[in-house]
Amino acid sequence: MKIAIIGVGYVGLVSGVCLSEVGHHVTCVDLNTQKIDKLNQNIMPIYEPRLSDMVAANRASGRLHFTTDLAAALNKTDAAFVAVGTPSRESDGHADLSQVYAAAESIAEQAAKPLVIINKSTVPVGTGDEVESIVKEARPELHFDIVSNPEFLREGAAIKDFMTPDRIVIGVESDYAKAIMAEIYAPFAQEGYPILYVNRRTSELTKYAANSYLALKLAYINEVADLCEVVGADIKGVSKGIGLDSRIGEKFVNAGPGYGGSCFPKDTLALVRTAQDHERPLRLIEMIVSSNGYRKRAMSRKIAHMCENQIKGKKIAILGLTFKPNTDDMREAPSISIIQGLQDMGAKISAYDPQGIENAKSYLKNVTYCKSILACVENADVAVIVTEWDEFRELPFAEMRAKMRSSVLVDLRNLYEGKTLNAHGFDYQCVGRPLETQLCERANNDSG
Ligand SMILES: NC(=O)c1ccc[n+]([C@@H]2O[C@H](COP(=O)([O-])OP(=O)(O)OC[C@H]3O[C@@H](n4cnc5c(N)ncnc54)[C@H](O)[C@@H]3O)[C@@H](O)[C@H]2O)c1
């Protein structure tokens, strides 16, 4: 089938390349001329494992194209996915739907033949109805359908998630649209991946309900981790102990500095606002929005505590800036609140990240960006692991210790055991384990 994708961001680009990989002819359209020019030279606008090779292969096969010409793209297609951004509206936390509505208006203006418009952006329940009105008003004579097909991929594993999905959710209101969607996803159905057909509003709400549930799990385990620190329990054991219960599951039960990224913070907030508008407040989600916001900044105080709150003028080396590994996305990354909190206390910040530095520059000021772990920790008083990149799972402790002015390592991702770090001469703190235990471990180790 011939497909257009409107919006070539993390979701649009990955969806486009994966749909061409399974045999469709895909034209990806974006307003950003620079981005399209670069893609036409095989230069990726984002970092995502396997993406570059797959784009090159599918362009070479003639099944994948990039353009800024919406009219030309629509002229060839039966189905157009909309994958534009839906950030938080600054004034009130509702989803800002201006990009979705603008894309709908452009599609209505340019569509030359009957079209199924598929919304892949994350949008509040009822947005499909609004998009339908926009297109109908602009082009009363056009035959079109509006479908909801939210995307569940995770950055860092986006290609894998799209190609081997847990499920594909499709919200349709007509048999014709259902048939078109069945054709698009036929290669996935043949492989046995579950495809769930529901009505459009159910599909729209499913995406928010899924993301908010995952955020709830994270916020919960993070609060349990805080309790562990004062009662002498170990969050790693608690996580294992609850995760082995099949009703709970082992994923999303690891404590950390708070969730970030381009989805959970904005989607939880948007769901809260939708629920309030319908006078069915989701109190649990309201709580986690506030708990997570508090937590990210609180991590800077945890780090300060390791320096006996004498942070002014200290050099803090931040290892990891992106909100998770294997992406360059800095949106709502915990590192932002942590670094700003430390800077407010007078700390000097150096930072290293394998992929995120270019994007970090537009979020953070007065940070010395470094090209390696060792350059970052040079003369540092404290090193802090903020993102669990694989590179940080095997840190060069001896070299780090030799370069650092002082010996404090704060591990906000619980990658290490206190004993190991103490043996390398570090004062170590992680999340959800009492400091006293770790110091004891050090004493035992020293005496042994
Ligand atoms: N990033 C993720 O991990 C992820 C996962 C699942 C769902 N989502 C959802 O998918 C949607 C897109 O997210 P993203 O992270 O890919 O966004 P993004 O900001 O990375 O990309 C959006 C792209 O759309 C383009 N665009 C905006 N208006 C346009 C228009 N009228 N015509 C053509 N191009 C236009 C922008 O130039 C940009 O390149 C959002 O609703 C998001 O919530 C994102």
The rounded Å distance from CA 248 to ligand 1 centre is 31
Terminal CA-to-CA distance of the chain, rounded, Å?
A: 69
Amino acid at 68: T
Average pLDDT over residues 30-38: 98
Q: How far apart are CA 415 and CA 386, in angstroms?
A: 10
**What is the reported pLDDT for 76?**
85
Superfamily of domain 292-447: NAD(P)-binding Rossmann-like Domain (3.40.50.720)
Pocket test for ligand 1, best of 5, 8, 10, 208 (most atoms within 8 A of CB): 10
Catalytic residue among 18, 28, 228, 263: 263
Q: Band of the pLDDT at 435, cuts 50, 70, 90?
A: low
pLDDT tens figures, 129-152 = 999 999 999 999 999 999 999 999
* pLDDT computed for residue 442 by the predictor: 45
Domain limits, the chain: 2-197, 208-290, 292-447
How far apart are the C-alpha atoms of 397 and 1, rounded to whole Å? 54
Q: Does domain 2-197 have CATH number 1.20.120.420?
A: no
The mean pLDDT of 94-123, rounded to a whole number, is 97
pLDDT of the residue at 446: 44
Around 357, how many Cα atoms within 13 Å sit in the side-chain half-sphere? 14
For 194, counting Cβ atoms within 10 Å of its Cβ (0-12 exposed, 13-18 middle, 19+ buried), the class is exposed
Give the model's confidence band at 169: pLDDT under 50 very low, under 70 low, under 90 confident, else very high.
very high
Tell me the average pLDDT across 289-306: 94
Q: In what order do the strands lie in the sheet with 382-385?
A: 367-369, 348-352, 315-319, 382-385, 408-411, 427-429
Task: Pick one of 1.10.1040.10, 3.40.50.720, 3.40.50.12780, 1.10.3210.10 as the CATH number of 208-290.
Answer: 1.10.1040.10
156 pocket-lining for ligand 1 (C-beta < 6 Å)? no
Q: What's the gap in Å between 121 CA and the centre of ligand 1?
A: 7
Decide whether any atom of ligand 1 lies within 6 Å of the 12 Cβ.
yes
| Ligand 1 atom nearest 11 alpha carbon | 16
CA 151–ligand 1 middle distance (angstroms): 11
Q: Assess whether the region 2-197 and the region 292-447 belong to the same CATH fold.
A: yes
